[in-house]
Amino acid sequence: MHRITEFFVGLLFGLGLLLSGMTDPAKVLGFLDLFGVWDPSLALVMGGAISVGFFAYALARQRTTNFLGGALHLPKSNQIDKRLVLGGLTFGVGWGLAGFCPGPGIVSMASGEVKAAVFVAAMVVGMAIFEIAERTGLRQRMGA
């Protein structure tokens, strides 16, 4: 039952990305082009997502289980550290260069877009490098 629910939630999320234009790199890059022909439409999409997330998170903080009865684990840290800042900068640079973030990249790759497939492959390689660095303790040795 959980897998079926996960599938339909993912499908709904993917459809939302398609309908909002988040899977169109030109639209995303137009939003990021503040000094050119700026397209503010994705600000409305982000504002809607932030407002839904704000109220959903407030509700979730009052619960101990999710709606399907499983344990609910919310992040406890609110610390802004070097890892968070570097991760945010890396994400922003990747988003600006490719016009994709992870969710829209996967949706676009599934629709057959080659640029999205390259983006997702690079993302997976980056995730693998991170995991290797975490497991070998490279992060501690580099002072992160």
Task: Look at residue 143 in the predicted model and tell me its pLDDT.
Answer: 57
Task: Look at residue 53 in the predicted model and tell me its pLDDT.
Answer: 92
What is the secondary structure of 15-39 as a DSSP string? HHHHHHTTT-HHHHHHHH-TTSS--
- The Cα–Cα gap between 139 and 144 comes to 5
Task: Look at residue 51 in the predicted model and tell me its pLDDT.
Answer: 95
pTM for the structure as a whole: 0.72
pLDDT, one tens digit for every residue, the chain (144 residues): 778 988 998 899 889 888 888 888 888 888 888 888 888 888 888 898 899 999 999 999 899 888 888 888 888 888 898 888 988 898 888 888 888 888 889 999 988 889 999 999 999 998 998 899 888 876 566 555
Task: Look at residue 27 in the predicted model and tell me its pLDDT.
Answer: 86
Q: Which residues span the domain enclosing 45?
A: 2-141
How many structural domains are present in the chain? Answer: 1
Per the DSSP assignment, residues forming a β-bridge with 13 are: none
- The Cα–Cα gap between 131 and 124 comes to 10
Q: What sections of 1-144 are H helices per DSSP? A: 2-20, 25-32, 41-61, 82-98, 102-110, 114-136, 138-141
Pair of tokens at residue 123:
């993302």
Q: Which of 18, 5, 3, 6 is nearest to 105 (CA)?
A: 18
Task: Look at residue 55 in the predicted model and tell me its pLDDT.
Answer: 95
- The Cα–Cα gap between 41 and 43 comes to 5
